[in-house]
Amino acid sequence: MSITKLPNRKKDGVKEVFDIAMAQEYDEVVVIGFKDGKYHVQYTELSDGMRVIGALTMAQYELLKLGD
């Protein structure tokens, strides 16, 4: 698992995240976005929901370790 923090959180940073993801040629993607105080989740077709939940749990753990 890798978590990468980019320096710009506005449109340029969002575009950079998507450009990197496109270059990685991921098989499946889950996007969590924040706008106007709400969160939005979008995803491609997922082959294994439990695997995604496990990955989200690990991402949560890693993000909590990073603090802010």
pLDDT tens digits, one per residue of 26-43 = 888 888 888 888 988 888
What is the pTM assigned to this prediction?
0.69
pLDDT-based confidence at residue 68 (cuts at 50, 70, 90): low
Q: What is the pLDDT of residue 35?
A: 84
Q: What pLDDT sits at residue 29? A: 86
Q: What angle do CA 63, 49, 17 make, to 5 degrees?
A: 45
Please indicate whether residue 60 or residue 10 has the higher confidence score (pLDDT): 60
Residue 52 identity (one-letter amino acid): V
Residues of the chain above pLDDT 70, percent:
85
9 pLDDT more than 70: no
User: Domain limits of the chain?
Assistant: 11-66
